[in-house]
Chain A
């Protein structure tokens, strides 16, 4: 029986063969391969959630197997082709896929052929003392990898330790980091939705801005294919976040680019964003569907059915339109031109602050923004109109962007201590905003409903009830704002802001 400390290793095929000659303390290592090979496919989410957590999902013959560093291998038949982790039937594979985002679809990373085998340590009576299950993966793209899963036999701990030693000596490495992937799929492109842009204190503001934009444009581009194929809703979400970051650099890094240049660029990026807004709104509604149903009594669900059916219809049309747009020659030309502009940079008009050192520049911007937030927030009470709360939200968002862009310039610890309470405040303001935006768009939906059409009256009733509930929620969030801000702006936070961005001064 397999003891709990099952371990996964990986090595090259040559290293494995070399193992036959290794000293085995009187035992004899024997490798046997099963006849024949079977096709396999490795899948992962687009942002490599499995890869970055050291796991590998291998699909073969209708079933699937997940290799995880801690628990070894988990296999389950009849789950091949399942796209979202939530859609997997309960079982070992689903359990091993724990922690994956429910929103992300599992896409092919690479494919090839797989062979199974066994590595055994035999004693003088041909009794197996220790064993490892072998999986040899031969990728179509050129890489190869042998995965070695140790299986102890009860009562033979010494032999297991010996086998582990032999595998280590032959160059076997513990499975669980990126190298297994790079060995199997050497040409795999890198992708991270949050690129880290290195900066130092003397980096010129212009270069910092261009570096950040040049890092985020490829993120947007990398998500185009997934939006077009409609693999999952996160592609569009990440596409929009990347473009929003670009746009926020343009508006937050004042006078780094020439005034006209800034206006022109902002316009171009806003146009790119505009094409995506409606689809994202519909995605959010459809993702929140269950939550909406939970907000109103069962008797009003029929009306929601009607509404969500209409949303789904609209979404399909929007998705096709956006896919067409992203495939169009005009879009491709525009995005390529923008990429080139920020790669080459020669054609970008520089502004008055272009040559400022990034550190001074960052301190000034962050401090100013923080002070502004304090001024607005300190004036907020129960009577303050909503639009001022919205303004506070926008300033907080900008502060957050600034802090994230310039994070490499500041000490990690104090910086994180600021970000954490800021996030909390933003969550509160974010919900306040979401509820208000949802009410507005539901109002708009109501306005557009043709009352004469059958079923629409019911839909209107349900939507009306929904708006009432959302309004209540918005009020509740609104009531929390004063406290949230107080929690954020503690004496410690104030001191840290002064220390980090204002030379310790008030």
Chain B
């Protein structure tokens, strides 16, 4: 099982759009996926029409495996389940630890119903500073959407610094350009510069700014499901393939 976090300490960069489409693409590829909506706003749950579970605010909740597994909701798509929002950071910390420990009661409970996952995908909210180090440690890969602007450039560098300072392997970082407007020379220049500077830490696949992605809120479904032949879908597909090669090998 791999844990993949979609992270940036900035909002509105495309974390949720990426999580939703990656989760869908991974599930289509035959992997069993649990998408964890960690944003109290519940944005990725919204795209899958899953209502947030009220029970999740119960503090006793994560001591109780039975009730935890019950909080998971099947999406409309094969192999793809959602853990809806409303988790406290403390609960989430415990959850990650349990998912990592193959002998935890939670893991056993999931295995018992043949409901264990190949990938756990975390849609992180911005500003989780208190939690971020734990997320970075628990995750096998951190996918970072970067809008090709000078400001984002700074943010990505800070993230790398954070990894260095905390002795975290920088190899876990997989940045990519999000909402890129290739024709805009400003974007193009920043992208060239960043690729030179960050090399392999940036993936080749780029998600362009596309109206289909904006319209996800109307369809309430991944672009890959609602507009499979669009250019945006092709980009998410390429992102999926590249990430799978990096995380699962081959």
Contact = CB atoms under 8 A, between A and B. Distances in A.
B30 interface: no
Interface residues of A, number: 13
Contacts, number: 41
Contacts of B70: 155
Contact of A154 (B49, B76, B115, B220): B115
B50 interface: yes
A156 interface: yes
A346 interface: no
A1 B81 contact: yes
A159 to B, nearest CB: 10
A127 B81 contact: no
B51 A156 contact: no
Contacts of B113: 3-4
Contacts of A152: 74
B74 A1 contact: yes
A1 B79 CA distance: 6
B72 A155 contact: yes
Contacts of B170: none
Interface residues of B, number: 19
A4 B76 contact: no
A156 B51 CA distance: 12
B79 A127 contact: no
A127 B75 CA distance: 8
Given A1-B32, A1-B79, A4-B114, A155 B51 contact: no
A123 B73 CA distance: 14
Given A1-B81, A3-B113, A155 B49 contact: no
B156 interface: no
B48 interface: yes
A474 interface: no
Given A154-B74, A155-B73, A155-B74, A1 B115 contact: yes
Given A1-B81, A3-B113, A154-B115, A128 B76 contact: yes
B71 interface: yes
Interface in B68-123: 69-76, 79, 81, 113-115
B79 to A, nearest CB: 7
Nearest to B115: A1
A58 B128 CA distance: 53
B71 A127 contact: no
A211 B115 CA distance: 57
A383 interface: no
Listed residue (B32, B49, B51) with the most chain A CB atoms within 10 angstroms of its CB: B49
Interface in A457-474: none
Interface string A188-228: 00000000000000000000000000000000000000000
Interface string A132-166: 00000000000000000000111110000000000
A3 B110 CA distance: 11
B146 to A, nearest CB: 32
A34 interface: no
B72 A127 contact: no
Contact of A127 (B32, B50, B69, B114): B50
A125 interface: yes
A328 interface: no
Contact of B49 (A1, A3, A127, A156): A127
Interface string B27-60: 0000010000000000000001111000000000
A299 interface: no
A365 to B, nearest CB: 57
A384 interface: no
Given A1-B79, A3-B113, A4-B114, A154 B51 contact: no
A4 B111 CA distance: 12
Interface in A1-42: 1, 3-4
Contacts of B48: 127
A1 B35 CA distance: 13
A111 to B, nearest CB: 29
19 contacts: A1-B32, A1-B81, A1-B115, A123-B49, A125-B49, A125-B220, A127-B48, A127-B49, A127-B51, A128-B76, A152-B74, A154-B69, A154-B72, A154-B73, A154-B74, A155-B70, A155-B74, A155-B81, A156-B74
Q: Which 10 A-B residue pairings sit nearest by Cβ, starting from the closest?
A: A153-B74, A127-B49, A155-B73, A154-B74, A128-B76, A125-B49, A154-B72, A1-B115, A155-B72, A154-B81
Given A127-B49, A153-B76, A156-B74, 20 more contacts: A1-B81, A3-B113, A3-B115, A4-B113, A4-B114, A123-B49, A125-B51, A126-B49, A127-B50, A127-B51, A127-B76, A128-B76, A152-B74, A153-B73, A153-B74, A153-B75, A154-B73, A154-B81, A155-B71, A155-B73
Interface of A: 1, 3-4, 123, 125-128, 152-156
Interface of B: 32, 48-51, 69-76, 79, 81, 113-115, 220
